[in-house]
């Protein structure tokens, strides 16, 4: 809306209550990660013992490593395929591509459980036929690329749409070869979209639980899967410590992002 209006003070109170609602569960995770006793109901005093326990946990480190490998490799593949698709969609958007759009939205709207189980059952089937695709990092990567691809395609597509089409014509008029046009015109223009697609894919992959859970093998637990199985086994205080580290990572990322924005605004 255009201007600040006089509002009932209840709105402000409600706003702060909702902020409390959103941050309280995260705050509890952080608070209990410093608890000196093994309890989530009583806080007995400050201690770092759960963090110290994490340092000796090899399962946790291998889960973190798997998460990183999975996120980087799947984002890289999705980036290549998705940006090609995004460019194709832009160049040929005047043709009837409705079916293609529907296909792209399929991974986005499909329930995670159905998605994961469809992959799992068919990987098992293909595995029994030709011995490929035993559950593990490979099958997880295939599944992750599938759900990251649409996001990359749509981000790259919208970057192209917002770009000045005269740039392409100018390059062509100046007799730039297709490869020159790509490296000197297209690539610099879509670089921000490529960067944000990669980070979005990385985050989606790193955060995903359900689809990874159904396509994972015995040796390929990711961080969320590790946390999940720790919860099911009931080892709570160390989960609070891992959870706090993950919350810390998000907060650091947000601060870096904000600083970057401020610097950009200061330069402008």
Partner 1 sequence: MTASHDAYRRFRRRETRHLLWTTAPSVLWISLFLVLPSLYLVSMAFMSNDTYGQPTLPLTLSAFDQLAGDGVLGWSPANIYTLLRSLEYTVISSVLTMLVSYPLAYYIATSRRSLRPVMLLMLVVPSWTNQVVRAFGWMNLLAPETPLSDAASAMGLLSPWMGLYPSPFAVMLGLVYNFLPFMVLPLYNSFEKLDVSQIEAARDLYASPYKTFWAAIFPQTLPGLLAGMVLVAIPAFGMYVVPELLGGGRAMMIGNLVALQFAEGANWPLGAAGALVMLIATLVGIWLLRRMGRKFGGGEEVLV
Of residues 226-255, which lie at the interface with partner 1 (CB under 8 A)?
227-228, 231, 236, 239-240, 242-243, 246-247, 250-251, 253-254
**In the complex, what is the shortest distance from the CB of residue 197 to partner 1, in angstroms, rounded to a whole number?**
13
- Please list, in sequence order, all residues whose beta carbon lies within 8 angstroms of the beta carbon of residue 172, skipping any fewer than 6 positions away: 181
Q: 23 or 61, CB closer to partner 1?
A: 23
Q: Does residue 165 bind partner 1 (CB under 8 A)?
A: no
Residue 132 CA to residue 143 CA, distance in Å, equals 15
Q: Does residue 129 bind partner 1 (CB under 8 A)?
A: no
Q: Does residue 182 bind partner 1 (CB under 8 A)?
A: no
Q: Does residue 210 bind partner 1 (CB under 8 A)?
A: yes
Choices 45-53, 54-62, 143-151, 164-172 (CB under 8 A): range interacting with partner 1 = 143-151
Q: Does residue 36 bind partner 1 (CB under 8 A)?
A: no
Q: Does residue 125 bind partner 1 (CB under 8 A)?
A: yes
Q: Does residue 54 bind partner 1 (CB under 8 A)?
A: no
- Other Cβ atoms within 10 Å of 243 Cβ, number: 19
Residue 27 CA to residue 29 CA, distance in Å, equals 5
**In the complex, what is the shortest distance from the CB of residue 112 to partner 1, in angstroms, rounded to a whole number?**
6
Helix/strand/coil for 35: strand
112-130 and 137-161 helices cross at what angle (nearest 10)? 130
**In the complex, what is the shortest distance from the CB of residue 24 to partner 1, in angstroms, rounded to a whole number?**
7
Q: Which one of 54, 69, 100, 200 is in contact with partner 1 (CB under 8 A)?
A: 100
Helix/strand/coil for 47: coil
Q: Which one of 34, 115, 157, 202 is in contact with partner 1 (CB under 8 A)?
A: 115
Pull the structure tokens for residue 25.
């569960």
Tell which positions 6-25 bind partner 1, by CB under 8 A.
7, 11-12, 14-15, 18-19, 21-25
- Please list, in sequence order, all residues whose beta carbon lies within 8 angstroms of the beta carbon of residue 135, skipping any fewer than 6 positions away: 120, 123, 124, 215, 216, 217, 218, 220
**In the complex, what is the shortest distance from the CB of residue 188 to partner 1, in angstroms, rounded to a whole number?**
19
Q: Does residue 104 bind partner 1 (CB under 8 A)?
A: yes
Residue 250 CA to residue 76 CA, distance in Å, equals 21
Q: 265 or 267, CB closer to partner 1?
A: 265
- Please list, in sequence order, all residues whose beta carbon lies within 8 angstroms of the beta carbon of residue 189, skipping any fewer than 6 positions away: 159, 163, 167
Pull the structure tokens for residue 262.
């401020």
**In the complex, what is the shortest distance from the CB of residue 256 to partner 1, in angstroms, rounded to a whole number?**
13
Alpha helices in the chain (DSSP H): 9-33, 49-55, 58-91, 98-109, 112-130, 137-161, 166-173, 178-181, 187-207, 210-215, 223-233, 236-267
Q: 14 or 61, CB closer to partner 1?
A: 14
Interaction pattern, residues 57-96, with partner 1; x per rule: CB under 8 A: ------------------------xx-xx-xxx-xx--x-
**In the complex, what is the shortest distance from the CB of residue 10 to partner 1, in angstroms, rounded to a whole number?**
8
């Amino acid at each position: 809306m255009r201007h600040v209006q006089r509002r009932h003070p209840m709105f402000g109170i409600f706003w702060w209550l909702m902020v409390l609602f959103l941050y309280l569960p995260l705050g509890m995770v952080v608070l209990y990660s410093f608890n000196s006793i093994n309890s989530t109901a009583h806080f007995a005093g400050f201690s770092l013992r759960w963090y110290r326990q994490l340092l000796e946990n090899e399962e946790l480190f291998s889960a973190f490593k798997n998460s990183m490998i999975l996120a980087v490799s799947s984002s890289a593949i999705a980036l290549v395929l998705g940006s090609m698709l995004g460019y194709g969609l832009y160049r040929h958007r005047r043709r009837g591509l409705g079916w293609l759009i529907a296909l792209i939205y399929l991974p986005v709207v499909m329930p995670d459980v159905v998605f994961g189980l469809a992959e799992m059952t068919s990987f098992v089937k293909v595995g029994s036929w030709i011995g490929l695709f035993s559950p593990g990092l490979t099958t997880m990567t295939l599944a992750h690329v599938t759900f990251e691809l649409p996001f990359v395609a749509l981000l790259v597509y919208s970057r192209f749409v917002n770009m000045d089409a005269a740039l392409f014509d100018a390059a062509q008029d100046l007799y730039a070869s297709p490869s020159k046009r790509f490296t000197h015109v297209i690539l610099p223009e879509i670089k921000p979209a490529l960067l944000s697609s990669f980070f979005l894919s990385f985050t989606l992959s790193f955060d995903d639980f359900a689809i990874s859970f159904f396509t994972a093998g015995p040796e390929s637990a990711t961080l969320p899967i590790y946390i999940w199985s720790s919860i099911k086994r009931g080892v709570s205080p160390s989960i609070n410590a891992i959870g706090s580290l993950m919350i810390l990572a998000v907060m650091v990322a947000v601060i870096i992002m904000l600083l970057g924005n401020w610097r950009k605004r200061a330069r402008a």
